[in-house]
Amino acid sequence: MSKYLLKPLAVASLLALAHPLAASAQDADAGEKVFRKCKACHMVGEDAKNRVGPELNNLLGRQAGTVPDFKYSKAMEAKGNDGLVWDDDTLSEYLENPKKYVKGTKMSFAGLRKETEIQDVIAYLKTFSEAAGTPAETESKAEEPAKNDEAAAAAEPVQTAAASDGDVLPKDAEVPDHGVFHLGRKALPDEVEAWNIDIRPDGSGLPVGRGTVAQGEVIYTETCAVCHGVFGEGEGRWPVLAGGQGTLEDDRPEKTIGSYWPYLSTVFDYVRRAMPFGNAHSLSDNGVYSVVAYLLYLNDVVTDEEFELSNENFASIKLPNEENFIADNRLEEPAYAAKEEPCMKECKPGPVEITMRARVLDVTPDSEDDSVGAGAIE
């Protein structure tokens, strides 16, 4: 099976060697789709502004770290000063593994795994770059796509083998003895370990590890602050992580880890599960302990910069608002508890008056009034 599949791909990679340009053909339309991955942070096109990342108009031919009014990492500025200019080659290398190419970059993006995606997104960015020359004229690229195709060829049969036409298992495989329908197979310990990452308030599920407030500050500043703010105050509409203690009864409560969240385990679980946004699962377990320790510090739950959080002391730490969570008691509210036949005639004393009108008459994407929707969807 694998032999059969390898054949056309092998031919393809031979062709790639012979025709480097064909292999690195760039498709701006496909790149527009790839660019969706970038849009959380970057704008391009008319009216593009700096957001979490710099705007990307005229990126091709631009010296790295030079968009006005954007606060780059020191690493990116240094690279630019050393002469890094974005072109096909430098962008390709950067997009493949940003943190490797510019060690210390603020961009918390894992990189694009597929060479075609890299080439396509560059093609797309070229459509917004006046200085962009003819695409892919460099010869050095001949090697790389070919290499990648080989890698793809090696990887492909595995994927295809999984494409079940009913022959994942040999036809004469034994019928499993579990259950009623005898469907599925036993999960292997490594598989369960890979996915079973949830943590509970009692600390069950925690990996062995440790990290200090000071270590967490380094990671947080580099990786988290770009969205959540240097002090956890939240940039734009990204979640606020710190502060807000004593505001839960206010007109505009601020619900943070320190003011609202009931359990520390949720912080650890979620950071390990889904953060940083756009590059989840990139922190080590010790890194997660460090970041969580730093979040405790930002929320004044711990005050000592030397504090070290570990699987041993984790369950002993309580968040201030734990006691304020109660069970669902909606059905005790008068409107529900009554269950009375509702009034049908003259249910209000006199003619009904309008007491309030829609605040946003034209519900539009470009509302200027940024405050109207505060706290609506979280």
Partner 1 sequence: MKNEETDNPRRNGEGLENPSRRTLLRGGVAAAGGAALAAGLAARGAGAAISQHADPLITDVQDWNRYPGDGVDARPYGLPSQYEKDVVRRDVPWLTADSKSSVNFTPLHELDGIITPNGLCFERHHGGIAEINPADHRLMINGLVDNELVFTMEDLKRFPRENRVYFLECAANSGMEWRGSQLNGCQFTHGMVHNVMYTGIRVRDLLNEAGVKPEGKWVLAEGADPSLMTRSIPLEKMMDDCMVAFKMNGEALREEQGYPIRLVVPGWEGNMWIKWLRRFEVGDQPWQQREETSKYTDLLADGQARRFTWEMDVKSVITNPSPQAPITHGKGQTVITGLAWSGRGKIARVDVSLDGGRNWQEARIDGPSLDKSVHRFYYDFDWDGSELLIQSRAMDDQGFIQPSKDELRAARGTNSIYHNNGIQTWYIKQDGSAENVEVSS
- Of residues 93 through 122, those in contact with partner 1 by CB under 8 A are none
Q: Is 2 in the site for partner 1 (CB under 8 A)?
A: no
Cβ distance 277 to 223 under 8 Å? no
**Nearest distance in Å: CB 70, partner 1:** 15
Q: Single out the residue of 215, 25, 12 nearest to residue 118, CA to CA.
A: 25
> What's the one-letter identity of residue 296?
L
CA 207 to CA 202: how far, in whole Å? 13
Q: Which of 68, 83, 170, 236 binds partner 1 (CB under 8 A)?
A: 236
Q: Is 46 in the site for partner 1 (CB under 8 A)?
A: yes
Q: Is 269 in the site for partner 1 (CB under 8 A)?
A: yes
Residues sharing a CB contact under 8 Å with residue 141, sequence separation 6 or more, in sequence order: 20, 24, 88, 89, 92
Sign of torsion over alpha carbons 187, 189, 193, 194: negative
CA 13 to CA 9: how far, in whole Å? 6
Q: Which residue lies nearer to partner 1 by CB, 134 or 355?
A: 355
Q: Which of 18, 22, 168, 208 binds partner 1 (CB under 8 A)?
A: 168
Residues sharing a CB contact under 8 Å with residue 258, sequence separation 6 or more, in sequence order: 242, 243, 244, 245, 298, 299, 300, 301, 319, 320, 321
Contacts with partner 1, 128-157, as mask; x by CB under 8 A: ------------------------------
> Within positions 47 to 66, which residues make up the interface with partner 1, using CB under 8 A?
47-49, 51
Q: Is 6 in the site for partner 1 (CB under 8 A)?
A: no
**Nearest distance in Å: CB 191, partner 1:** 7
> Segment contacting partner 1 (CB under 8 A): 9-17, 22-30, 191-199, 310-318?
191-199
Cβ distance 254 to 243 under 8 Å? yes
Contacts with partner 1, 273-312, as mask; x by CB under 8 A: xx--xx-x--------------------------------
**Nearest distance in Å: CB 115, partner 1:** 19
Cβ distance 61 to 87 under 8 Å? yes
**Nearest distance in Å: CB 17, partner 1:** 29
> What's the one-letter identity of residue 97?
N
> Within positions 328 to 347, which residues make up the interface with partner 1, using CB under 8 A?
328-330, 333-336, 338-340, 342-347
**Nearest distance in Å: CB 74, partner 1:** 26
> Segment contacting partner 1 (CB under 8 A): 83-91, 142-150, 306-314, 355-363?
355-363
Residues sharing a CB contact under 8 Å with residue 292, sequence separation 6 or more, in sequence order: 211, 216, 264, 267, 268, 271, 309
Q: Is 239 in the site for partner 1 (CB under 8 A)?
A: yes
DSSP state of 85: B
Cβ distance 154 to 166 under 8 Å? no
Residue-level length of the chain = 378
Q: Is 375 in the site for partner 1 (CB under 8 A)?
A: yes
Q: Is 191 in the site for partner 1 (CB under 8 A)?
A: yes
CA 148 to CA 150: how far, in whole Å? 5
**Nearest distance in Å: CB 331, partner 1:** 8
Contacts with partner 1, 22-41, as mask; x by CB under 8 A: ----------x---x--xx-
Per DSSP, the three-state class of 118 is: helix
CA 66 to CA 343: how far, in whole Å? 68
**Nearest distance in Å: CB 357, partner 1:** 5
**Nearest distance in Å: CB 19, partner 1:** 29
> Within positions 198 to 217, which residues make up the interface with partner 1, using CB under 8 A?
198-202
Q: Write out the two tokens for 84.
A: 């890094």
